[in-house]
Amino acid sequence: MPSIATKEIGKEAYRVLFVILENVEYGLFSEVTPVAIARILECDPSSVKRAVRTLTEKGIIRKRHASRKLIGYEVLGNFQMDG
């Protein structure tokens, strides 16, 4: 099972992941948006989008869409956190 620690996702991606995890409402789905994450972290939305891209490429989260609109993120269950 791949570990987040070995994926070298970076500090900003960790911060974004923790916000997503804090907002999981049911199952492994979080309805938080990039704009909301940027407000919570007090950072630029482009930083959030880069972090989301990293998390998506590493297989940690998946974007969820409805009618072509981003409605949140699904945390994939195929990773573990070391430490």
CATH number for position 13: 1.10.10.10
pLDDT tens per residue across span 19-43: 999 998 877 899 999 999 999 999 9
Residue 22: count of CB within 10 angstroms of its CB = 10
Diameter of the chain by CA atoms? 39
**Res 6: pLDDT:** 47
Q: What pTM did the predictor assign?
A: 0.81
pLDDT band at 83 (very low <50, low <70, confident <90, very high): very low
> Could you identify the residue written with the tokens 């923790």?
18
Per the structure, how many domains does the chain have?
A: 1
* Structural domain of 33: 4-75
Is 82 inside any structural domain?
no
Reading phi first (left if > 0) and then psi (alpha if -120 to 50, else beta), residue 68 is in: left
Is 8 inside any structural domain?
yes
What 67-70 contacts at long range (C-beta under 8 Å, 24+ apart), as own/partner pairs, is 70/33, 70/34
**Res 81: pLDDT:** 53
Is 67 inside any structural domain?
yes
Q: Look at 6 and 68; give whichever has higher pLDDT.
A: 68
Which helix (H) or strand (E) covers residue 34, if one does? helix 34-41
